Amino acid sequence: MAPKTYRRRWDRKNLDHPNLAIYFPLGETPSACTCVDNTCQRFVDLTEQTPGGAKAIATEPFEPGAHCVLKIHNPIDRTWSYFPAEVKWSVPSPSQTNRHISGFAFRAQVPIDWPPQEKADAKRHPTSEDYVFFRNINILKRLDREAICPLLNALVFRQIAAGERFVTQGDAGDSCFIIQKGTCAIVIEKNGDSHAIAVRKKGDIIGEMSLLTGEPRSAHVEAGTDMDVWEISKDDFNTITADYPGLRNFLTEIVAERFATSRMTAERQIGKYLITDIIGRGGFSIVYKGLHRRLNMPVAIKMLNHDMAMDKEFVSNFQKEAITIARFNHDNIIKVYDVEALYQTMFIVMENIDGCTLRQIMNDQGKLPPEQVIHYLQQVCAGLHYAHQHDIIHQDIKPGNLFILPDGRLKILDFGLACPCGAENMMTGTPYYMAPEQVECLPVDERSDIYALGLTAFEMLAGHRPFDEEDPHEAMELHVEHDIPDPAQHIPDLPEGLRKLILKCCARDIAQRYRDIPALLNDLTPLAQTLGISKLPPISQTKRMMTVFLIYEDRHQLELNELMEAFSSEIEHMGITLKAADFSDI
């Protein structure tokens, strides 16, 4: 708290733009500058300013009474001005961990001509001139305001001569680099041969993948020209990415960009799987095509956005539920094979299926006829009932998460936001399809999925959502404060039974909805029979055969027999038969 003897003479105003200032500490007298090598200057986040002073947030406290010079940036005309100042107070930030708020009183109300003796030392931090470069590269454009100064202050300058190798394949990944000037080559060494696979230039980042995986460097990096680079240590990098969601989202973009390349590198290997192509992007994830590297089996691989995957509470809950979801075996639920943690995010490995989402069908056809809607609703209900019986709530039922196979069968996708029935809700889901209790962060149960299913049914029939509000915050407020409109007003010739079903699914009061899926089916099944919609026949199970050749020496026969017996016992409960045959010597 500011001392009581310190009174403001001007009303302070919050700054609309992310103003920055550079803090230069002075010696015992205001004219003595102790910061001649740029190693002790610090960028600070200027949040308020008046003719007589300023308030700033920094990663460290400043000593009250200390003299300094603030070099303040004007984001309008992009100029810098020097103000001699004195630290009046400094306190820990009440809302940000390891951040301190400091108040400064200017000793002159107009800028002064005071350029410090800035030297381009090898270990210097960024200057105001360097900031011109940083503000034009993607990493700063993606950052939250609060993360800009900590990142700039963590960077250390390095000059690299042409031909110098500054990253070595196999070494520990203890830092990454941002290129300010020059170019370099990415070189992979394999079987004694070197292969140049890429060139990096101004604004590119090098070495970040090793920081994300914790694994050794996957390639050499050699300077093609003289280079100026900025280095950040692994510890600083991890601290900043953990604290600031903006940088986490940028990590998602970096990893996605690496996976999008056409070249085959180790960076595209996710455990036993290899990413081959991108399928699509969503609000929480990116989905890729992939292959099981040994079995050559096609799979789909979903990468969660880093902002979610770096949330410790979310990851803890997700890993617990992933075990349950991976055991699901239902015709209307996408099969999950595996979960991998890598690149500081989570990858969900699923079955690869052909078809398209319900959203794509709706985009092509517009309104869907009641018979087709009921056909899909029956299948969603079957899948949801199975999940609910296993105490799992989906939490994100919507057209984009319902996948239609070429034969008209439906599979529910994306159990990545699933949670146990009755669990506390952290407002997860898509705003346009969230039940009122989700918006208000109340416990969720089967009826939360039923609400979203009712909204989806309305949209399939009408061609638009009940609340056709584009702003997500406005949409969430509408779900809490208003009943959905009567679907009959938007859908001509809507069967009365289907109208009542949708309204009951979407009741704002959770107690007025169907209590569970069987209760919903009690109304849906007779309606389907009235419209002549037959129940889907069971899916025929195709038998497949896999051949594996084991080439071994006689001395391993007994040990191999024991292994095969154990393997046969493990797969018997899956209905798989193991047959072995003895071949002649090869």
To 5 degrees, how large is the angle CA 504–CA 506–CA 512?
50
User: How is residue 344 annotated by DSSP?
Assistant: T
Let me know: does 85 contact 105? Beta carbons within 8 Å: yes
Spatial CA neighbour of 418 closest among 377, 448, 381, 442: 448
Let me know: does 413 contact 402? Beta carbons within 8 Å: yes
Helix spans in 293-435 (H): 306-309, 312-326, 358-365, 370-389
User: How is residue 262 annotated by DSSP?
Assistant: S
Amino acid at 501: L
Structure token pair of residue 140: 């700063």
Radius of gyration (Cα) for the chain, nearest Å? 30
Reduced 3-state DSSP string for 497-509: HHHHHHHHHCCCC
Strands (E), 100-203: 100-106, 156-160, 165-167, 175-181, 184-190, 193-200
Spatial CA neighbour of 322 closest among 310, 335, 308, 331: 335
Contacts of 329 (CB under 8 A, 6+ apart): 335
Q: How many helices (H) and strands (E) does the chain have?
A: 16, 26
Whether 77 is catalytic: no
Helix spans in 114-195 (H): 128-134, 138-141, 145-154
Q: Compute CA distances 425 → 305, 387, 415, whole Å.
A: 19, 18, 15
Let me know: does 79 contact 21? Beta carbons within 8 Å: no
Spatial CA neighbour of 455 closest among 501, 492, 497: 501
Q: Are strands 184-190 and 79-92 parallel, antiparallel or unpaired?
A: unpaired
Contacts of 171 (CB under 8 A, 6+ apart): 216, 217
Helix, strand, or coil here: 462?
helix
Spatial CA neighbour of 301 closest among 323, 286, 316, 314: 286
- Choosing from 130, 243, 307, 396, the catalytic residue is 396
Catalytic residues: 396
